[in-house]
Every structure is written in C-alpha cells, then in structure tokens.
C-alpha cells in the first residue's frame, strides 16, 4: 500500500465542534518573556487548552516548551476547543456557543461573540470562516470581527461535521439527503450525491480533497476539484458502525484517511484516497476495550488512536507492521484532544496539564502547560461577549449548561482537534491475552496481524509469538481460495505471507498459526480484505473515427490483477458496465471532434485515474473520376439538385475530383449508364464546393454513405 507522507499543507482547515450550554467568556493577558515587549511565539507551534486553569497556552512544536499563555479565558472546568489556522486563533466554548478571537502578537483576547447556537462548529477556510449550526444553517463570518458576512445558507439538518478543502471551499455533509454541499465565498454550490438519504456520512479532507465515508453502504467517495467522484469499496465490517458512523479526522495532511469502526474489534482502516488501497488491523490486539477509543490521526507511517481511559495514544506503525509503544499523554483519565498541525501531531489533556507533541519519526516531547518559568499573568477584568444572531437567524438563546459537562458524542459531529469518544474513567486494564498463552513454556499466539489489499493478492504481516520456541508459522485463509506464499514461515521470520489469486468479489480473513513442539497457537482472525485494489486507468485507450461513430479500444489497467473489471464511458457517449476492452459508439455528428473518458471499476471500487481519447470525425476526402459524360457536358450544381449551374466538365473529359462527403438530394436517372440514385457528392470546385450526382462519379457503391466516405453533416 502506498501511503502518502504528510506534506505540511498549511492550507488545510481546522474545525471545532461545540455543545449545549451557556457561559460568559472573558479574557486576561499574560506577558511572556519580557513583559513590556511583544511576545515571541514560535512559528511552528500550537495553542493548547487547559480547563483546570481556564487558560490557553502556546507551545513550541520543536522543543515542547511553552512560550505564551493567556489566563482566565474561561471559568475553570469549562471545555473549550482551539481553532487555529495560520494567524487566526479562535477559542470556542463547546457548551455555550461563544467564540473568542486571540491576537497572538499581543497575547490577548480581542473579540468575543455569542452565536447562541448549541454545538456550533467554527471552520476556517482560507481567508474566510464559517459558523455551522448542526441544526441546518451555515453562516460565513469575518474571522477578525466574528461578524456575519452575507446571508446564511439553509440546509436540511442535522448536519454532519464540516471541513474546508485545500482551495478554501467548505464542504458540509447533509445525511438527510445523502449529499455533501460545497460552499465557497458564502455561496452554496452544486450538491454532490455520496450516499442514500439517511446514511451516516463522515467527511475527511485528505490532501486537500474531500473524502466521504458512508458507513451504511461501506463505501468511500472522493470528490475531485472538477466535481467528479471516485468510489472505493470498504470492508463489509464497516456497516457495524451503525447510525453513529465511523470515526475519522476532519483533515489529514496527506492522502491517507484513518477510519476507526467502533466496536469490540476496534477495526482500523487506512484508506489511501489516491489509490484506493486499504491496510487494516484490529486494535483489540493491543487494548482491552477498543470500543472506548477515539478518533484516529495519521502522521508519517503511524496511526495514533486516543485511549482516554488510559490517558495515552495507541500507535500502529503500518510500515513496521506492528504496534509501537503507546505514547503516554497523562497519568489520569483524560478526554484527549488530538490533531496534526504543520507536520506535527499534538495530543492534549484539556482537563489537565498533560500534553505531548510527536514528530513524523514518532519521537514524542512532553509539553508542560503548567511551566513555572513562564511569567505570571497580568489580569484584566472579564468582558461580556457581544451577542449576535445565531447561525439559525432566529435569535434564540442556547440552552444553559450550569454543570459545564460536555455533551454526548453524536457520530460525525466530533470535533477537530478530535476528542476521544464516550470515554469512561479508567479501571484496572489487564493486558489482553491471546489463545495459546496458558504457560511460560508454550508459545503465545502471533499478534498484530494486519492485512493489505494488493492487485491480485492480499499481503499479510504479523508480529511473532512471545514465549516458547516456534518452529514455524502457517496461514489459514477463510473462505478457502488463493495460493499462500510461502507455505510456511520459519520461527525467526520474516513475518509475512502473500495470498495470491482468489475472487475480487469476496472478502477473506486470515489466521496465523504458530506451531511449536507442544502444539499450536492461533491468532485472532484478521480483518476482511479483498485480493484486489481499485483499478488504475485503462491503458492504450484509442478512438478510431468512422461515419457518425467511433470504435473505441483499450487494454486492461496494469493493476487489474486478473479481477473482473468493468468500464464506465463518459463524454461524447455514456455507458456503464462495459465488459471487454472495446466498444462501438453510434450517433455522432461528422465534421466534429468528440472527446471520451474511460474509467475502470471492480469490486474494490473505481480508479481515480481515467483515460481519454478523441475521435476526429473530419471528412476523409478522396479523389474519384467523373463519369457519364460521353454524350454531353456534365454540369456542376450549386446544391444536391438539378437546378442551377456553377461550372461544367466538357463532354468526353474525365478527371479526378476530390469528394468531401456524400448526402441525399434529388433523384437522378442517368441515361448513359441506366443508373438512378438520390446520392450526391460534395466536391472541391474552383476553390469552393460543388455537387455532382453519384450517377456521374466513379465512387464506391453499395451503401450510403459509401465507405470510406462520410455523410455530410453540415
């Protein structure tokens, strides 16, 4: 599986979801460094919330040191999200619907506004920002003043989590209609169908392009800049997510989308939205309660999954085909906020002082949000938020929430920075045991089994058994099918198998069996994978012109891998489900160019890449001699009829004439040859065109038009 590494794309928007309640938000200033000087915040860094102190701090991403703090932003215990995009830093009270803007150069809150909407989302898209009320309204706002810009956009609620693409367009899922809606410069664009009405939709902007996961249909749809869609088939197990849908981040810096299917297996998928390849593993191999895990993130070759019950991040390294050591964020239960910014991953315990920053190599640095060396605050009085009409425009106040407790998670409305999902206080967490770990002498079961779909194959990787002396590992495939290579792996590795062949329309699971002197130990079944990937572009696509049609031909994609592939044709002609590698198109207009686009599809989905070809139906001109003038001159007519004359061919003279095309006209009976025909030839004549009856030309016979000539269509 080709996994795209982060590109440091600073255009990617960061969003935050907020929840029910009401609270006045105030601000106070803290000097950092020399109190009389302007603060010097690191260019590579992030703002982190601390509800215990009601403060927000800025940390250097390269050192982990805190270099700025604003105290008394909210009463201790409140839950705020931090939305940061370039120089724009917004604090969003999840319960109250109150938004404040931070001026980083002055370490102060300069603007606060009450949007009067519970669970509001604030999304920054380029130079614009949006307030998304999940009840069904999207309002563009000025990120500096927080005031409305233009009229709100009304959509059927409840809305899914919105995100902005690399071009500054906001994408809003509308599950009720099964569509996503683009909004640019505050104006609604053409809705894009991605699922059936009512399907749970999870949106991730990956590498600047929207990717929507429909859990009910087990399908992912990528939307390209030109509006075209590419569909990928996900494992059937994705449907187990139910109405709540899957967990995925709002944005990723590369094309890889991590998808967590909530449930006892904790199935984690890594979808490469550029190629459609899927790698997967079960997090139940590493944690006792995968159902309590939060929204995954990716950085480098690792996926990071928040485990709030243990205050840590579970780390799966798909390049090393195994679980890396967990990253401990806090020693207490913590609702972890996890996000990627400028090529670094941040994990923050919003309710405590724990936080870490992780680089692409997996090295973690601890952030001390309570750093004592940061100068103490210079407080200013609290300011009341400026009330404004909420995104719904009805002026209704948000319901109060005196307890300050966060709301329950609502599927696709999870926030960015992402938070853990329905976490519970930690209890004793026993290490998961596997079959075959009953005694120190025997070998334990193989672990960290992962599968990855490839063209015509499934790649299997696993970690070795612990304890005992394994003689060899074998692989059991269900249902039976395909050829396993090698037949066995030695106890010292390498710990990989390949299952070649099989049916692309079927899903296969594998079990790794460790064989030792006293018996065997079997791993838990893997996730289900197909022995195929979404096909690449068809090769050698050509369009051969013929009269009023074209003969199209191509070769199967290079990564088809023997899978049954069908093709979808669009452009001058449309046709889905084409089998084989050729297709004839009828009904085209001559004297025009016709463009065709071809896309391949198999049971794994559609390829993003397409092939293009052009059929040029220009008239094929050919020279033929005139005929039938032994008795008289041959008149050249101005049109396909017997009237008028623009020239003559003298009696008895025969010469080649260039025929442009043929058409129907007046019927002519030629006495000399006894032939009757209503076919006329358009010929080149004295720098222009003229017309001769077919009875007066030595053109091919037998059809209209007579090949290789085309019919006149102009």
> What is the pLDDT, as a whole number, of residue 190?
94
> What is the pLDDT, as a whole number, of residue 222?
94
Separation CA 470–CA 240 (nearest Å): 35
Instruction: Assign 560 a pLDDT band (cuts: 50, 70, 90).
Output: confident
- List, in sequence order, every residue forming a beta bridge with 664; answer none if it has no partner: 679
> What is the pLDDT, as a whole number, of residue 517?
86
Average pLDDT over residues 143-169: 95
> What is the pLDDT, as a whole number, of residue 62?
93
pLDDT at 425 over 70: no
Instruction: Assign 423 a pLDDT band (cuts: 50, 70, 90).
Output: very low
The CATH code that applies to domain 15-419 is 2.130.10.10
Q: Which DSSP string do the residues of 8-63 spell out, in sequence order?
A: --TTS--EEE--S--------EE--SSTTSPP---SSEEEEEETTTTEEEEEETTT
Q: Which helix (H) or strand (E) holds 290?
A: none
- Pairing relationship of beta strands 251-252 and 201-206 according to DSSP bridges: parallel
> What is the pLDDT, as a whole number, of residue 79?
85
> What is the pLDDT, as a whole number, of residue 38?
58
pLDDT at 20 over 50: no
pLDDT at 277 over 70: yes
Cα angle 329, 331, 332; round to 5: 105
> What is the pLDDT, as a whole number, of residue 346?
98
What are residue 243's phi and psi, to 5 degrees?
Answer: -70, -25
Separation CA 267–CA 258 (nearest Å): 11
Instruction: Assign 345 a pLDDT band (cuts: 50, 70, 90).
Output: very high
Q: Return the CATH architecture of domain 622-696.
A: Roll (2.30)
Average pLDDT over residues 548-557: 97
Is the previous residue joined to 71 through a cis bond, with omega within 30 degrees of 0?
Answer: no
Q: How far is CA 517 from CA 449, 465, 496, 520, in A?
A: 23, 14, 22, 8
Helix (H, G, I), strand (E, B) or coil at 244: helix
Average pLDDT over residues 263-283: 93
Short-list 120, 19, 47, CA closest to 417: 47
Contact criterion met (CB below 8 Å) for 224 and 599: no
What whole-number percentage of the chain has pLDDT above 70? 85
Residue ranges of domains in the chain: 15-419, 447-522, 539-616, 622-696
- List, in sequence order, every residue forming a beta bridge with 50; answer none if it has no partner: 55
Q: Which helix (H) or strand (E) holds 198?
A: none
CB atoms within 10 A of CB 175: 27
The CATH code that applies to domain 539-616 is 2.60.40.10
> What is the pLDDT, as a whole number, of residue 388?
41
Average pLDDT over residues 319-326: 90
> What is the pLDDT, as a whole number, of residue 504?
93
> What is the pLDDT, as a whole number, of residue 441?
61
Q: Return the CATH architecture of domain 447-522.
A: Sandwich (2.60)
Long-range contacts (CB closer than 8 Å, 24 or more residues apart) made by 146-155: 146/99, 146/101, 146/111, 146/112, 146/113, 146/388, 147/113, 147/388, 148/388, 148/389, 149/186, 150/186, 150/187, 151/186, 152/391, 152/392, 152/393, 153/181, 153/183, 153/186, 153/187, 153/188, 155/181
Sequence-distant (≥ 6) Cβ neighbours of residue 701 within 8 angstroms? none
pLDDT at 193 over 60: yes
Instruction: Assign 1 a pLDDT band (cuts: 50, 70, 90).
Output: very low
Q: How far is CA 120 from CA 17, 19, 81, 135, 138, in A?
A: 6, 7, 11, 9, 10
- Tens-place pLDDT, residues 102-131: 999 889 999 999 998 888 999 999 889 999
Contact criterion met (CB below 8 Å) for 614 and 593: yes
The upper half-sphere exposure of residue 556, i.e. CA atoms within 13 Å in the direction of its Cβ, equals 15
Instruction: Assign 541 a pLDDT band (cuts: 50, 70, 90).
Output: very high
Say yes or no: do domains 15-419 and 622-696 share a fold.
no
Short-list 710, 691, 690, CA closest to 700: 710
Separation CA 419–CA 347 (nearest Å): 9
pLDDT at 365 over 50: yes
484 compared with 401, residue with greater pLDDT: 484
Instruction: Assign 418 a pLDDT band (cuts: 50, 70, 90).
Output: low
Instruction: Assign 24 a pLDDT band (cuts: 50, 70, 90).
Output: very low
**How many helices and strands in the chain, by DSSP H and E?**
0, 59
Alpha-carbon torsion 338, 339, 345, 348, what sign?
negative
> What is the pLDDT, as a whole number, of residue 378?
42
Separation CA 116–CA 393 (nearest Å): 10
Instruction: Assign 59 a pLDDT band (cuts: 50, 70, 90).
Output: very high
> What is the pLDDT, as a whole number, of residue 5?
33
pLDDT at 36 over 70: no
- Tens-place pLDDT, residues 651-680: 999 999 999 999 999 999 988 888 999 999
pLDDT at 207 over 80: yes
Average pLDDT over residues 621-630: 94
> What is the pLDDT, as a whole number, of residue 443?
74
Sequence-distant (≥ 6) Cβ neighbours of residue 428 within 8 angstroms? none
Where does 560-603 have alpha helices with state H?
Answer: none
Instruction: Assign 405 a pLDDT band (cuts: 50, 70, 90).
Output: very low
User: Starting from the edge strand earliest in sequence, which strands make up the sheet with 688-693, in order?
Assistant: 622-625, 656-670, 675-685, 688-693
Short-list 299, 421, 367, CA closest to 48: 367
- Tens-place pLDDT, residues 434-480: 444 444 467 789 988 999 999 999 999 999 998 888 999 999 999 99
Q: What is the mean pLDDT of the chain?
A: 85
Cα angle 312, 316, 319; round to 5: 150
> What is the pLDDT, as a whole number, of residue 370?
85
- Tens-place pLDDT, residues 493-532: 999 999 999 999 999 999 999 998 889 999 999 999 999 9
Instruction: Assign 483 a pLDDT band (cuts: 50, 70, 90).
Output: very high
């Amino acid at each position: 599986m080709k996994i795209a590494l982060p590109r440091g794309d600073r255009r990617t928007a960061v969003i935050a979801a907020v929840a029910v309640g009401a609270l006045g938000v105030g601000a106070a200033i803290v000097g950092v460094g020399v109190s009389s000087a302007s603060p010097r915040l690191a260019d590579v860094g992030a703002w982190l919330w601390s509800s215990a102190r009601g403060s927000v701090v800025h940390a250097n991403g390269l050192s982990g040191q805190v270099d700025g703090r604003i105290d008394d932003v909210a009463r201790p215990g409140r839950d705020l999200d931090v939305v940061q995009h370039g120089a724009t830093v917004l604090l969003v009270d999840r319960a109250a619907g109150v938004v404040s803007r931070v001026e980083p150069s002055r370490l102060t809150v300069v603007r606060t506004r009450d949007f009067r909407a519970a669970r509001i989302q604030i999304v920054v898209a380029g130079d614009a920002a949006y307030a998304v009320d999940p009840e069904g309204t999207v309002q563009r706002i000025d990120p500096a003043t927080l005031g409305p810009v233009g009229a709100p956009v009304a959509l059927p609620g409840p809305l899914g989590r919105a995100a902005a693409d690399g071009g500054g367009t906001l994408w809003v899922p509308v599950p009720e209609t099964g569509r996503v809606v683009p909004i640019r410069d505050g104006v609604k664009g053409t809705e894009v169908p991605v699922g059936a009405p009512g399907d749970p939709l999870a949106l991730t902007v990956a590498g600047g392009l929207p990717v929507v996961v429909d859990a009910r249909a087990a399908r992912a749809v990528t939307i390209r800049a030109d509006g075209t869609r590419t569909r990928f088939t996900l494992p059937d197990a994705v449907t187990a997510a139910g109405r709540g849908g899957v967990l995925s981040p709002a944005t990723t810096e590369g094309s890889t989308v991590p998808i967590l299917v909530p449930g006892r297996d904790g199935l984690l998928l890594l979808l490469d939205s550029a190629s459609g390849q899927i790698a997967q593993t079960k997090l139940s191999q590493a944690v006792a309660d995968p159902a309590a895990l939060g929204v995954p993130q990716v950085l480098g070759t690792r996926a990071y999954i928040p485990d709030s019950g243990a205050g840590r991040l579970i780390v799966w390294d798909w390049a090393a085909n195994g679980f890396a050591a967990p990253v401990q964020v806090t020693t207490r239960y913590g609702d972890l906020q996890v996000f990627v910014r400028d090529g670094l991953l941040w994990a923050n315990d919003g309710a405590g002082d724990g936080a870490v920053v992780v680089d692409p190599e997996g090295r973690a640095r601890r952030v001390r949000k309570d750093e004592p060396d940061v100068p103490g605050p210079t407080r200013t009085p609290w300011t009341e938020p400026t009330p404004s009409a909420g995104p719904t425009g009805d002026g209704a106040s948000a319901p109060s929430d005196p307890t300050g407790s966060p709301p329950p998670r609502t599927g696709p409305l999870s926030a960015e920075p992402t938070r853990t999902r329905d976490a519970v206080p930690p209890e004793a967490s026993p290490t998961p045991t596997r079959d075959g770990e009953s005694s120190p002498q025997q070998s334990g079961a193989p672990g960290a089994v992962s599968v990855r779909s490839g063209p015509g194959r499934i790649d299997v990787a696993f970690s070795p058994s612990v304890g005992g002396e394994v003689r060899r590992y074998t692989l059991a495939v269900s249902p039976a099918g395909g050829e396993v290579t090698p037949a066995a792996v030695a106890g010292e590795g390498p710990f990989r198998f390949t299952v070649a062949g099989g049916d692309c329309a079927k899903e296969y699971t594998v079990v790794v069996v460790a064989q030792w002197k006293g018996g065997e130990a079997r791993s838990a079944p893997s996730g289900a994978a197909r022995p195929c990937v979404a096909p690449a572009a068809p090769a050698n696509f050509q369009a051969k012109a013929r009269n009023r049609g074209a003969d199209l031909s191509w070769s199967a994609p290079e990564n088809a891998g023997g899978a049954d592939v069908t093709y979808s044709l669009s452009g001058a002609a449309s046709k889905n489900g084409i089998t084989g590698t050729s297709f004839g198109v009828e009904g085209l207009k001559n004297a025009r160019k016709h463009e065709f686009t071809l896309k391949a599809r198999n049971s794994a989905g559609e390829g993003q890449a397409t092939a293009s070809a052009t059929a040029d139906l220009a008239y094929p001109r050919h020279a033929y001699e005139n005929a039938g003038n032994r008795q008289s001159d041959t008149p050249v007519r101005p049109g396909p009829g017997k009237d008028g004359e623009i020239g003559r061919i003298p009696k008895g003279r025969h010469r080649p004439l260039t025929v442009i095309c043929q058409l129907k006209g007046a019927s002519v009976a030629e006495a000399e040859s006894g032939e009757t025909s209503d076919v006329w030839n358009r010929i080149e004549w004295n720098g222009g065109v003229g017309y001769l009856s077919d009875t007066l030309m030595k053109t091919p016979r037998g059809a209209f038009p007579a090949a290789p000539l085309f019919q006149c269509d102009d």
